[in-house]
Amino acid sequence: MPWNLDDSRPIYLQLMERIQHDIVSGVYQPGDKLPSVRDLALDAAVNPNTMQKALSELERSGLVYSHRTSGRFITDDSTLLKKIKTDLAQEYISSFLEQMSHLGISGSETLEMIKQTLGGGDNETNS
């Protein structure tokens, strides 16, 4: 998946979000070794110092840890991983609901549309 970075927000934050997303979505599994700073920076087409800053921030959050001579690894803390995944999902839901509201669609209308989409649209045939 391309990195799709833009200039509207700090690049290191976007890098952090992308790596975080890759971790909670299963691209990287708990305990997996991350690619090197240089490899990640090359892949994202950013300066290695910027990638280093993003990874250092992920370390501070506990999502990533480092072994001095072996590189960086994904945490095995399933509680932390679940919390981050839930927090990210809440952000997506809030953003989606805000967009629906801007379209003039109420919460109940949104919920009905979601139910129809998830149910394949056959709610009317169940009546």
Confidence class for position 126, pLDDT limits 50, 70, 90? very low
At the second CATH level, the architecture of 11-76 is Orthogonal Bundle (1.10)
Domain coordinates in residue numbering, the chain? 11-76, 79-126
Contact of 57 with 12, CB cutoff 8 Å: yes
Distance CA 54, CA 73 (A): 14
Structural tokens at position 122: 């056959």
pTM of full prediction above 0.85: no
Contact of 33 with 72, CB cutoff 8 Å: yes
What is the distance of C-alpha 121 from the center of its chain? 29
70-110, pLDDT tens digit by residue? 999 999 999 999 999 999 999 999 999 999 999 999 999 99
C-alpha torsion sign, points 8, 12, 44, 62: negative
Task: Write down the pLDDT at residue 122.
Answer: 54
Task: Write down the pLDDT at residue 1.
Answer: 65
21-73, pLDDT tens digit by residue? 999 999 999 999 999 999 999 999 999 999 999 999 999 999 999 988 899 99
Task: Write down the pLDDT at residue 67.
Answer: 87
Burial class for 54, CB neighbours closer than 10 Å (0-12, 13-18, 19+): buried
Of 118, 79, 88, 122, nearest to 17 by C-alpha is: 88
Task: Write down the pLDDT at residue 121.
Answer: 54
How many residues does this entry show for the chain?
Answer: 127
CA distances 111 to 49, 90, 114, 118, 125, Å, are 44, 16, 5, 10, 18
What is the distance of C-alpha 46 from the center of its chain? 19
